[in-house]
Each structure stands twice: as structure tokens, then as C-alpha cells.
Amino acid sequence: MALESQPDIEVVGEAGDGSQAVTMTRALTPDVVLMDVRMPVMDGIEATRRITAAGVATRVLILTTFNLDEYVFTALRAGASGFLLKDVPPADLFTAIRAVAAGDAVVAPSVTRRLIDAFARHLPAPGRTPPEDDRRHPLNRLTTREREVLTALARGHSNAEIAEHLNVGPGTVKTHVARILAKLHLRDRVHVVIYAYESGLVRPGD
């Protein structure tokens, strides 16, 4: 009912379990799937993995009552473009759906800090060969400017902020972001952040 109150959002289907969600997504090809975590037959994490692995344009936004780290991490690794809790205000949910549909990503503020802390615990150990010293590292596919944009994205800056900092137009930043996603085989901005921390390019507190 809340979604249908928005003129630019159309609910095209509703599934009762993860398996049905995968089948309906293939048939209906929606822009966004709102996915729960705990469901019968197939859980939302596996359903998300199957949907994103299918190569369709559909993006998955997890919407759940379970604020557990294991769900957050596995959902994002499975290809989800966002993770929200069901106590999110309707207006914020609408905004999140539009953002995900546009190719962006969203994570509930309450779990963002925990994500960063988790990355900190799993950063490359001191003395490990840095990415720039390994010619085979995927980061070396990027130009100097693309690495600057990647670092800024990982630190949470918006396209407008990056454009102002680099003294370029917002359209140029969007182009750089698209190239970063393509070169590193990443799905969206949230996976850019995960990649930047796990590769050691960015560390908490930088």
C-alpha cells in the first residue's frame, strides 16, 4: 500500500518465498526486488545470489527486521545493492528504491559503522605487497583519475562532492564510476566500497 501511493513506483508482483521470488523476477524483470531474509523454501540471501547471478538488470534491496552482521555481509556479497531495516520511514524507503533503481546503493545508517569495523578487522596485514606494487592486481587496470574517484567513493563522497573536489563536471564523474564498475567487474557503489577496503586501497580513518 505504501509503495503504490507513489506515482513513479509500480508493484508488479509479490512472492511468498525465495524460490518464487527468483521465478517471478525472471518472468517480470522488475527494476528492483525488495527481498526479505528469512523465508520458507529458499532464504532471501540465496534468492538474491541467484537473481544477481542471472545477469538481469534487476537490482535487489534487502528489507528485513534482522539487524545481524552475518545477514548484512552475506547479502551484500550475494549481490544485493542495499540493506535496510523494516523500521525505515516510508519516505526513506521510497528514496532508497529510486536510488537502487538508478544504479546506486544504500545501506542503513545503523549498519554502516559495523561494516567499516568489519573491513578494518580483515584488512591486509602489514608488510603485504600493496596493490600498486603488483602489476597483476585489478586496481592497476584503473587510470590515476579513476583511482582518485574510487578512493573518494569508498570514503562516502557523492558524485557532486567528487566533481567539486576534482574540478570536473558531474557527468565526468559518472563516466569514471561506470568505467570503474566495468573494469573491476563490480555491480554498484556499495560493492565499490567493499572492494576498496578489502583490497587495502582505503583504510578506516584515512
Domain assignments of the chain as residue spans, ordered by start: 3-112, 124-198
Contact 188, 104 (CB under 8 A): yes
Range ranked top by mean pLDDT from 49-58, 68-77, 181-190, 192-201: 49-58
State the CB neighbour count (10 A cutoff) for residue 128.
11
Residues 39, 42, 45, 50, CA torsion sign: negative
Contact 65, 84 (CB under 8 A): no
> Could you tell me which residues come within 8 angstroms of residue 115 by beta carbon, excluding any fewer than 6 positions away?
72, 73, 107
CATH superfamily of 3-112: Response regulator (3.40.50.2300)
pLDDT tens across 120-153, in order?
Answer: 554 444 444 445 555 567 788 888 898 888 888 8
pLDDT tens across 9-61, in order?
Answer: 999 999 989 999 999 999 999 999 999 888 888 988 899 999 988 877 899 99
What pLDDT score was predicted for residue 126? 43
What pLDDT score was predicted for residue 10? 92
What pLDDT score was predicted for residue 68? 58
Contact 36, 20 (CB under 8 A): no
Weakest mean pLDDT among 46-55, 69-78, 90-99: 69-78
b/e code 32-47 from CB counts within 10 Å (16+ = b): bbbbbbebeebbbbbb
Q: What is the DSSP string of 136-172?
A: TSGGGGS-HHHHHHHHHHHTT--HHHHHHHHT--HHH
What pLDDT score was predicted for residue 34? 92
Q: What is the DSSP string of 184-196?
A: HT--SHHHHHHHH
b/e code 71-86 from CB counts within 10 Å (16+ = b): bbbbbbebbbbbbbee
CA–CA–CA angle 57, 61, 62 (5° rounding) = 140
What pLDDT score was predicted for residue 19? 92
Predicted TM-score (pTM) of the model is 0.61
**CA 143 – CA 153 distance, rounded (Å):** 15
What pLDDT score was predicted for residue 14? 92
What kind of architecture, by CATH, is found in domain 124-198? Orthogonal Bundle (1.10)
What pLDDT score was predicted for residue 206? 53
**CA 52 – CA 86 distance, rounded (Å):** 22
What pLDDT score was predicted for residue 20? 93
Confidence of residue 193 (pLDDT cuts 50, 70, 90): confident
Average pLDDT, stretch 86-105? 85
What pLDDT score was predicted for residue 187? 72
Confidence of residue 115 (pLDDT cuts 50, 70, 90): low
pLDDT at 118 > cutoff 80: no
